[in-house]
Amino acid sequence: MRRLVLLWATAAAVRQPPLPKSPSAAAVREAYLYAFATYARDAWGSDWLRPVARQSVDAAAAGPLGQTIAAAADGLWLMGFDGVVRQCGAWAADEFSAGDAHVATSTRDATKILGGLLAIYVLSDDARFLGAAKKLGDRLLPAYGASPTGPPYAHIFDLREGVVSKPTVNVQNSESLTAGLVELKALAKATSKKRFAEASDRQLQALFDMKGWTFQGSLAPARASIEAGAFEDSNTGRCSAGEGGAELYAALVARGRQSNDELARKASRLAARAAVASLTFVVSDENGTVAADMLQGERGPPVFHQRACALPGFLARTNWGYMPQAVHDPDSVKTIARDLVTTCVQRALQTKTGLAPSLDQATGRVGDLRPETASSLFFMRRATQDPYYASLGYDLFRKLNASSRIQGGAFATIDDVEIGNKRDEQPPHVFETLKYLYLLLLENETQSTYLDDYVYAAGGHLLPVYDGSEVLDKANDDLRATVVVVKKIGHAVVPDDELHIADSIERFAATATSAGHVTFDENALNESYTMVAGQRPSGRPLSGTAMIAGFQEGIIPPNQPGNATVWGVSGIEGPARFVSRVAQALVKQGLPVSRSFVEDTHASLCKLRPCGHYGTAPRYDLPTNLTVSADPLGSLTVEPWMEPADAIEQFARAAAAKGQDIKRESCVEMLSWFCKRRRCARQTLREDRKAVVLVSTGEKDLEATATCEFWSPPEWCAELLKDRLIKEGVPVDSALAAGMEVRRHFCETSTCGQRLHTRLSLDIWDHDNGTVGAAACGPLSDPADCVEKMFRGSYRVGFKANETTAEASMTRMMRWFCKRRECIRPVAPAVSITHKGDVLEVKPWDEPRGKLREFAQRFSDKREPLSQEELKQLSFKVCSARPGWCVTLPKTVGVEVTGVGEATCRPWEEPADVLDTLHAHALRAGLEVTDLQLKKSLELMCAQRNCDRKKVKSMARIFFMHPGKTAGRAIQDATTKTDKVFVLGHDDRCDGLSKPCYVVLRDPRERLVSALAFKQQGGEWRGERLLGNTCHGWLMGKNLSTILADVDGLDQHCEYFQASPDKKTHCVFRPLEWWVDGHEDDINFLCFPELTTSFSALIAPFCNDTTCALPKRNPSNHSELYGGRPSSHGAALDAFARRWYSKDLELYERHCGTVKGPRFCRRPLFIGLRGTPSPRRPFTCRRRPPAHTSRPAGQVYGNASAQEATVEKGPFGEPIFAWEP
């Protein structure tokens, strides 16, 4: 073995290609160096660079594997940057962490890193790269050794412990079947270790033996199961020359050239057959020639796929599909390949950015800098010596350089090739793209080929071929460890210096359990221990089962951890893992879980069985709760029993449900922060997914693309696709079938069954009031958020319960919701903090931000404002005690207003209020502040923190007062897009003296009935009834006449306070006269029946090109209030209005006259035979002209009651309308 290594080390050095003389190749070389230099400056050692933020990001949260260094190092050598290569060698020797960190990785990514390390070792003869490659290769072997059939598992759960990930579904991408096929064979040659060659050969033979090859055993469907040793049924799945096929066929070509044994020859023959069979994909039309997918047994439409652009290069590498003794026309294949690659380049150059879209569809227009087209151009030019391909390649590079390169030299992915906006990411494969373009232009310049006795592996890495003289060593003494191969799980590695072999075996078992493997049971644990103990000193025995008291039966359902009166924790599961699973089971049942329970239970277990050998490593020890800032949204706290990736995805989902935009990059950073400090079973977030499905429209089939963001439940994505197709006119049955197919596809790669796509509503009953409301939980919402929100609302309307009663109620509600939707966290605990003699109390249902704002305001009112650091500490103490997303006080922000001064907004203040104050001070000082200054200042502040109000009051040209039940919210929604109109709060008034002031007048009887119906249906939140809403409970079951006859009851339960202008009652009952406040001659009035027309005319000058129309006017439901007999309540309503709203009646008549529906004049409106009110004989009054004349010129009044014939009628035959957003 030593002799072979010495011969390898002293072999002649590989000759570098010459430096380019042509400006084209030199430009690519320069771009390559600058892109890598930017990475080295800002993200050295990490996997990816974020060039805009100048930050790094890793593929796995627990740590980097140096993907970019491995991807770029051999290209640096090819271009003559030897000094940079030596720096990469120092990284490989000192910083490469594949053998040390508990890193999770995909096998494909890891084998590309392995290929890059081997390539630069072979080219530079730097043994430091070989050491890193060997370390990584040994860590990858469990993916191959544990495989039941030979091809590797797609993911490795823990590189250090040698455990593979348990597949969430039974299929994986077919490209992963050939991951490492070429690299392990090259590693065997470099190290003289047979274990790597055996893994590669077994993998290749298993690939030949896979069932389900299509087209006479030539093409592979896109997905496969290594458990079953079979590809997906081509009649129900997909075959593709791009995704699922490109890397697989390229690996077969490379492996066929890598050696001269029978397996290699068989790989070459299979690659040639695949080349010929792949011509079946080719479709030509007026848009060019593309390789379409085969969908469900039939060729799909001619849709462009970027990854299918690897097909021309594949054809060239197989000598145009040549096979001895076969009918073959290489010229026709060359023509097809030329047409294919030409179309690939044209599709790129036709876009605004000059980059090809990943898919030729609106949802797939990402320019991700992939290498397929560049590699095909390289192999086509090398096979034909035609400079045409070099010309195309340089055109591509110029466009790439112009549209994707940013300041500093890095390249950024283009989010949409037709727009040109950039994503903040420089993927490692951009160096593969540039490397192929460089070699293409260099070989075209020199008319020579370089390193043509090497094979191109995945990532474009150059690896040597076997020459037949290699002698491989079967011994594994270099491992310095005993290895136990556990099928379908991994390799249990016991180092030679491990004193107690039980420590290593139990750590492996705990990792396997964390990965979800259930087959590694007590018997497997004992067998593994016995196997190793028979070869070396064993030390302590395996830990026994620890027994402690559990829960009573029924608290946790069967088949869930902790469902026992006595808990037994065996050696295959670490105590921390068991306690976390019990806590998770409790949360899923909606039961409360505390940190003290988790910590005490873990401590009890560790008194009964060894826990010290797990150490303090984050993967095994009981995690502590961790809180990370998520500015400007607040913070996220992950409890010891919570999985960080799940918590972050739920955080993103909750933010999306509330209309907040959160970027995946930010969530990836959060996950990395958590996983470097605690155990993470999942080290990557789910990917943003896409699915293409054929939809039958009756006339023709079309492709529909469903997108699913990383936080989106699969069922939700399928529902969105179905609804979208129906809106586009697709038949309902076809849309439903498409949704079901997309759901099936997404559920194969993601967790389904969370039931987050439905809306849940829980009716609440009270022993005194009967039914008192309903708690609603909309799609994407976590039940704990819904329960807390409902209690928060109920407290706001006056319901007060002690904490014991509230906790019991919330637990019952949580249990109901958690049976119908997966629960992520429990209800938050109460928090009490004493600071400077004052107490900050945050109840479980309180919103922390509101309580912190009140607390800070108290100190500000005492002229003792809290510092930024004090607020930060208080926020941390509150939020770290509450699981999940916590919205806290924002930071202090300020802006400089030119010519005026600085506006500083403290955390408890609202930016718009601060700017209003600044404007007022400036006016008093005689300084001018423009609307543009105010608008830009607010935008700057709101970009740094959340703003509850997005308008500056000082910018308004007119004000609207907002009495209850006068379309105030509709007006507010309609004027959202203009800063010139400001809608005041319910308790705010304007007098019309400084700026025009408007209020909507509504018939007081209509308004009162609408207010009562509003309260009767739930009160404060339209459509969501509240526990503890005493007004709602009192109104339930009563009709209008009964309610109006009990003024004291209305006063007591509904904040009516016997309504009068001088009493501040609830806004829906307060007379409109309160808002007028003696300024009738200065205020403008709009009449409710004519509001649509008059409002449109009034608002038009302020809306420019935007639409400011009122929302659709929808009928209101007053059926319960009227009891089916509206006319029977007319007398009671009229009498009540004249008693309590007499001034409103007069005000309404003065400005709106007598209109259809209730008519008001100074005499009784309805005269019966004996002086009693009678709705059958109305007294007719003439319409009086409005007394107020300050309306804008040109205001139009018209009839806005076009829907009267179809809407509900009131007691006087009037139509009942309500404006709802």
Strand segments (E) across 263-324: 282-285, 288-291, 294-295, 298-299
Cα–Cα distance measured from residue 675 to residue 673, given in angstroms and rounded to the nearest whole number: 6
pLDDT: is 116 or 477 the higher one? Answer: 116
Quick one: pLDDT at residue 71?
96
Question: Average pLDDT, stretch 884-902?
Answer: 85
Residue 593 scores a pLDDT above 60: yes
Cα–Cα distance measured from residue 176 to residue 1094, given in angstroms and rounded to the nearest whole number: 66
Banded pLDDT at 134 (limits 50, 70, 90): very high
Task: Give how far the C-alpha of residue 1125 lies from the chain's centroid of Cα atoms, to the nearest Å.
Answer: 51
The answer to whether residues 388 and 440 touch, using CB atoms and an 8 Å cutoff, is no
SS3 assignment for 355-389: CCCCECCHHHCCECCCCHHHHHHHHHHHHHCCCHH
The 8 Å CB, 24+ separation contacts for 851-856 are 851/878, 852/878, 852/888, 852/889, 852/907, 852/908, 853/889, 853/907, 853/908, 856/889, 856/906, 856/907, 856/908
Q: Is 891 exposed, middle or buried (0-12, 13-18, 19+ CB in 10 A)?
A: middle
In this structure, of 348-352, 598-602, 832-836, 1195-1199, the range with the lowest mean pLDDT score is 1195-1199
Banded pLDDT at 98 (limits 50, 70, 90): low
pLDDT per residue as tens digits for the range 278-299: 888 888 888 889 888 877 667 7
Cα–Cα distance measured from residue 579 to residue 622, given in angstroms and rounded to the nearest whole number: 9
Cβ count near 1057 (within 10 Å) = 15
Quick one: pLDDT at residue 1206?
40
Cβ count near 206 (within 10 Å) = 19
Quick one: pLDDT at residue 1193?
31
| Length of the chain counted residue by residue | 1221
In this structure, of 135-144, 982-991, 1185-1194, the range with the lowest mean pLDDT score is 1185-1194
DSSP3 helix / strand / coil % (the chain, rounded to 5): 45, 15, 45
Structure tokens at 59: 């593929």
SS3 assignment for 128-161: HHHHHHHHHHHHHHHHHHCCCCCCCCCEEEECCC
- pTM, two decimals, is 0.73
Banded pLDDT at 1204 (limits 50, 70, 90): very low
Residue 1023 scores a pLDDT above 60: no
Question: Average pLDDT, stretch 936-965?
Answer: 88
Show the DSSP H helices in 1017-1083 as ranges.
1030-1035, 1040-1045, 1047-1053, 1073-1076
Cα–Cα distance measured from residue 66 to residue 77, given in angstroms and rounded to the nearest whole number: 17
pLDDT: is 1181 or 1035 the higher one? Answer: 1035
CA separation, residue 826 to residues 657, 785, 809, 815 (Å) = 19, 9, 13, 10
Cα–Cα distance measured from residue 751 to residue 1220, given in angstroms and rounded to the nearest whole number: 37
Question: Average pLDDT, stretch 2-29?
Answer: 69
Cβ count near 535 (within 10 Å) = 10
Banded pLDDT at 1022 (limits 50, 70, 90): very low
Q: Which of 1093, 1088, 1085 is nearest to 1197 (CA)?
A: 1093
Between helix 127-145 and helix 107-124 the angle, nearest 10°, is 150
Structure tokens at 858: 């108290």
